[in-house]
Each structure stands twice: as C-alpha cells, then as structure tokens.
C-alpha cells in the first residue's frame, strides 16, 4: 500500500495524541504504584467516570471547560475517598490482594456507571472553536486532536515538573523508593498517599474528559483503557516516571501505526511486547522500574 507523506505525518500525530492521552492516565498509575505499591485496577474506571461526568456537566452547563475542570476534581475526591477507606486498610497485605480488591472496585464502578447513565454511548462535541481542521505542515489536521496534543503534553509536563523540581515532588519521589525512610524523617505519609492517589485519579479523569469528544463515551471504555495502561506500566518499569512517558509514546505509536498494518491484531503486538518485557526485563524497557514486591 502506498501512502504519501501527509498520511504518515498525520498518523504520527495521531499516535502522539494517543500517547498523550495514555500518558495522562499512566502517569497517575505509575506514581500510585511507585508510592503505594499498588496496581490500581479501578484507574480505568476513573478515566471512564471522568468522561461520563463531563457528559453530564456539559449537558447541564453547556461548557466544555466546566467539564474539563470539574470532572477531574470530583473524581480526585473520589480517589481520595477510595484511598482512605479501601486502600489504606489493606496496607501490609500482599499486593496481589490489593490488585484483586481494586479489580472488584472497578467492577462495581463499571456496573454503577452503567446503572446511572445507561448502557448506550454518548457523544460529546468539542468546543466550537476547536471543531474543524487547522492547516499544519501544508495539510489539514483536526483541530481538536491538535488541542489534545498541546493541552495534554502541557499537563503532563506540568505534573512531571512538579514531581522533579519541587520539594513536594522530591518527597513524593523519595517516598516512592523508600517510604520508611521518608516516614522516619517526619513526613506524614498518610496524607502524602491520599494526595498522590487523588492526583493520579484526577489525571485519569482529565484524560477521560479530554478523550470524550474523540471517542464515544461508553461503559466499556474503562476496561479497554486499563489494559493498555497496564501494558505501559510494565513496559516503562513499574514506578518509573521517565519510563512511563517513553512507554506511552511507544504504545501510542504502535497502536496507531499498527492499526494501519495489522488492523485488529495490533493489540496482540502490544501484549506480546508486555509479555516479553515481563520476562526478560522486568524493570521495564529502560531498566528503571522497581520489581514488584507482590508475592
């Protein structure tokens, strides 16, 4: 098949945009793992709930931006509640049990979402000025996708900068590699964990809101995305921020370009990659992650 340069550029941009959405989700997942040592199955549900809340908010207030700001906040609060009442009591237990627990929560959230909003998909329109196309490199590219790319990268960059360059961020990263030490230094790890969980969940919801005009908002979107998120988590090395960003870039591109060549089998490629990494380089592609303690 012969495609011209325009096609390839737009595919790569699509891949980047997919990566950015995935990045927002997985940054949250990876810092939650890094700090709390739990793999949160319900993370995909937060993404989905973010999208659904945006649907409702936008329907009420007729402002996309209201949805963009409010939905993540609500979900972040939900995340904080989950940390406080579900995750924290499970501390000290084998990590696989927490994985099972969050899996159960994900199921409950999925079914509840379907019960509240119904099983039929919703579509969301992007704001007027983001509809249509823009001229890019001499061809037309959807404006909203470009917005995702720019906005998403900005948010991701902000969060990463927060974690890398501020005191709070340093504490978070220190706690991620040695939280006993950080506790001994007098940091209140309980509230730290709460905030981290809230932040991660909020980011997932933000990704859901941003994604909603692009995809249809449907009850299966949480489960679709959590698998991808896990793959990225593993590829990047559990707990490694840098690795996650790179893995998200990789997976986004593989999915988009893979869809061109391999159609539906693209996901097989991604899973195989995850399997290989788990076996050969359990610390992730960049060897930066931590091996799980979940026996």
Partner 1 sequence: MMGTEASGVSATESGRHRLTVVMAQLAALVLAAVVFPAFGPTPYVIKLMTEVLIYALWAMSLDILIGYTGLVSFGHAAYFGLGAYGTGLLIVKFQLSLLPALLGGVAIAAAFSLLVGIIIVRLSGIAFALLTLAVSMVAYTVVWQWTTLTGGDDGLSVSRPPLNLGVASFAMKSDVSIYYLVLLLFVVCAFLLWRFTQSPTGTALAAVRDNAVRAGAIGYNVARLKLTSFLVAGSFAGVSGSLYIILRSFASPDLLHWSASGHILIMTIVGGTGTLFGPVIGAAMMVLVEDKLSAWTEYWMLPFGLLFVLVVGFLPGGLAQLVRKRAGRR
The binding site for partner 1 (CB under 8 A) comprises 39, 86, 89-90, 94-97, 99-101, 103-105, 107-108, 111-112, 114-115, 119, 223, 227, 230-231, 234, 238, 263-265, 267-268, 271-272, 274-275, 278-279, 282, 291-295
CB of 177 to partner 1, least distance (A): 18
CB of 73 to partner 1, least distance (A): 25
Measured from the CB atom, is 108 or 161 closer to partner 1? 108
* Residues 114, 116, 121: CA angle, nearest 5 degrees: 50
CB of 33 to partner 1, least distance (A): 9
> Measured between alpha carbons, how far is 79 from 82 in angstroms, rounded to an integer?
5
The DSSP output letter for 166 is S
CB of 268 to partner 1, least distance (A): 5
Measured from the CB atom, is 65 or 265 closer to partner 1? 265
The DSSP output letter for 217 is B
Q: Which long-range contacts (CB under 8 A, 24 or more apart) does 275-280 make?
A: 277/234, 277/235, 278/234
Measured from the CB atom, is 156 or 231 closer to partner 1? 231
| Alpha-carbon 191 to chain mean position | 22
Q: Which residue has the tokens 């899973």?
A: 271
Measured from the CB atom, is 111 or 164 closer to partner 1? 111
Contacts of 180 (CB under 8 A, 6+ apart): none
CB of 100 to partner 1, least distance (A): 5
Measured from the CB atom, is 48 or 231 closer to partner 1? 231
Query: Is the Cα dihedral 269, 208, 246, 199 positive or negative?
Result: negative
């Amino acid at each position: 098949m012969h495609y011209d340069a325009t096609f390839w550029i737009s595919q790569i941009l699509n891949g980047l945009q997919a990566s950015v959405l995935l990045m927002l989700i997985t940054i949250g997942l990876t810092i939650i793992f890094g700090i709390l040592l739990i793999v949160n199955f319900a993370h995909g549900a937060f993404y989905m709930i973010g999208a659904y809340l945006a649907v409702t908010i936008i329907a009420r207030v007729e402002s996309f931006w209201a949805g963009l700001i409010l939905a993540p906040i609500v979900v972040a609060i939900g995340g904080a509640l989950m940390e406080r009442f579900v995750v924290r009591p499970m501390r000290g237990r084998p990590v696989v049990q927490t994985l099972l627990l969050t899996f159960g929560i994900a199921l409950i959230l999925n079914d509840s979402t379907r019960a509240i909003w119904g099983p039929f998909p919703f579509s969301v329109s992007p704001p007027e000025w983001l509809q249509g196309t823009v001229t890019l490199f001499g061809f037309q590219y959807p404006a909203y996708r470009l917005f995702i790319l720019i906005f998403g990268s900005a948010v991701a960059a902000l969060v990463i900068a927060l974690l890398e360059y501020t005191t709070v961020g340093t504490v978070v990263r220190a706690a991620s590699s040695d939280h006993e030490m950080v506790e001994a230094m007098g940091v209140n790890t309980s509230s730290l964990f709460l905030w981290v969980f809230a932040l991660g969940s909020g980011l997932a919801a933000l990704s859901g809101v941003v994604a909603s005009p692009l995809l249809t908002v449907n009850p299966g979107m949480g489960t679709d995305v959590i698998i991808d998120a896990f793959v990225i988590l593993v590829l990047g090395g559990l707990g490694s921020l840098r690795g996650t960003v790179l893995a998200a870039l990789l997976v986004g591109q593989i999915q988009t370009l893979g869809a061109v060549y391999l159609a539906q089998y693209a996901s097989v490629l991604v899973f195989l990659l995850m399997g290989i990494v788990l076996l050969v380089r359990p610390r992730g592609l960049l060897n930066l992650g931590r091996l799980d303690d979940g026996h």
